[in-house]
């Protein structure tokens, strides 16, 4: 089929697609463009991609194959994932008040949020522990932690574990399970801060989505997070696996309106500048031209 249609490039971007199309692409004489969006230790990215791919592109520096079978050298690039820019921003105060009303809470309540699948790598239990650490130091501050997302089908019931942990820490009333919600923008605007306790996150989408909506982010200094967050400028980075490390930046943002506004505005401007669809498409297109030998030199292909 590839030969019949004269396909020049096959662009694969997940495990089943890599496994299905890699060898046929090579046998057909086409170029294999291997798009890696996951674990840097993935066997396919480290064993098959170096042997078969004409070029490997990863969503972050962190996601680059950690131990490739043969060096990739100039056959690897980083292009961050594309994000649709919000056409308009929901009114933050209206969203917050609507959420407080839905949950039967005082309208003065502040919210921190976790958005994503409830899986171990994303560390929802560390989120609960971070909220507990904040309340231990600031017992009278009206703050509730919201977990948006659900466990993977057939996976660990981390929703139940989160509830049990909150109860054991004495903050059952400070943690709410929100399930999966669409559209997500009103809820992401309603929270004061997004907390990202994840480990080994190649390049978290919710982190960028929050920045595009002007919601400040506190994330672990791990995985692809440091490639998006410039600590103290457009968000905060904290020590992984240390829930107490979230407390100080949470206090700064929740108790200093000027600092919250500065981080919010800087995060939104930087995300708009760096994570657009056009930027992504242009980067991919340049690599297509490169692997086909059609780079532009003095305005002419060679």
Give 132-147 pLDDT, tens digit per residue. Answer: 999 999 999 999 999 9
**What average pLDDT score do residues 84-98 get?**
93
Q: Which CATH superfamily is domain 92-274 in?
A: Glycogen Phosphorylase B; (3.40.50.2000)
Which has more confidence, 154 or 195?
Answer: 195
The CATH 3.40.50.2000 portion of the chain extends over 92-274
Kindly tell me if the per-residue pLDDT of 242 is higher than 80.
yes
Give 170-226 pLDDT, tens digit per residue. Answer: 999 999 999 999 999 999 999 999 999 999 999 889 999 999 999 999 999 999 999
Mean pLDDT, the chain, as a whole number? 94
Kindly tell me if the per-residue pLDDT of 300 is higher than 70.
no
Question: What's the pLDDT score for residue 82?
Answer: 87
Question: What's the pLDDT score for residue 207?
Answer: 94
- Grade residue 156 by pLDDT with cuts at 50, 70 and 90: confident
Mapping DSSP onto H, E and C, the string for the chain reads CCCCCCCCEEEECCHHHHHHHHHHHHHCCCEEEEEECCCCCCHHHHHHHHHHCCEEEECCCCCCCCCCCCCCHHHEEECCCCCCCCCCCCCHHHHHHHHHHHHCCCCCCEEEEEECCCCHHHCHHHHHHHHHHHHHHCCCCCEEEEEECCCCCCCCCHHHHHHHHHHHCCCHHHEEEEECCCCCHHHHHHCCEEEECCCCCCCCHHHHHHHHCCCCEEEECCCCHHHHCCECCCEEEECCCCHHHHHHHHHHHHHCHHHHHHHHHHHHHHHHHHCCHHHHHHHHHHHHHHHCCCCEECCEEC
Give 247-262 pLDDT, tens digit per residue. Answer: 999 999 999 999 999 9
């Amino acid at each position: 089929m590839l030969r019949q249609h004269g396909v020049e490039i096959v662009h694969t971007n997940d495990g089943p697609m890599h496994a299905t199309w890699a060898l046929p692409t090579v046998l057909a004489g086409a170029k294999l463009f291997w798009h890696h969006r996951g674990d840097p230790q993935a066997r396919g990215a480290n064993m098959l991609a170096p042997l078969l791919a004409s070029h490997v592109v990863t969503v972050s520096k962190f996601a680059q194959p950690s131990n490739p079978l043969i060096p990739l050298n100039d056959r690897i690039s980083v292009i961050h994932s594309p994000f649709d820019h919000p056409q308009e921003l929901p009114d933050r105060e209206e969203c917050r008040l609507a959420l407080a009303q839905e949950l039967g809470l005082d309208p003065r309540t502040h919210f921190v949020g976790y958005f994503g699948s409830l899986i171990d790598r994303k560390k929802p239990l560390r989120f609960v522990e971070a909220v507990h650490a904040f309340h231990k130091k600031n017992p009278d501050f009206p703050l509730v932690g919201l977990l948006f997302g659900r466990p993977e089908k057939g996976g660990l019931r981390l929703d139940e574990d989160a509830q049990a942990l909150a109860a054991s820490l004495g903050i059952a009333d400070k943690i709410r399970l929100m399930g999966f919600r669409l559209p997500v923008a009103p809820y992401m605007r309603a929270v004061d801060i997004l907390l990202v306790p994840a480990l080994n996150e190649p390049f978290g989408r919710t982190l960028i989505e929050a920045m595009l909506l002007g919601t400040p982010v506190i994330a672990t200094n791990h995985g692809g997070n440091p490639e998006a967050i410039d600590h103290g400028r457009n968000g905060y980075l904290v020590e992984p696996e240390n829930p107490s490390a979230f407390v100080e930046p949470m206090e700064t943002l929740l108790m200093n309106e000027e600092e919250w506004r500065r981080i919010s505005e800087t995060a939104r401007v930087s995300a708009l500048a760096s994570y657009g669809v056009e930027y992504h498409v242009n980067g991919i297109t340049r690599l297509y031209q490169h692997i086909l030998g059609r780079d532009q030199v003095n305005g002419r292909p060679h």
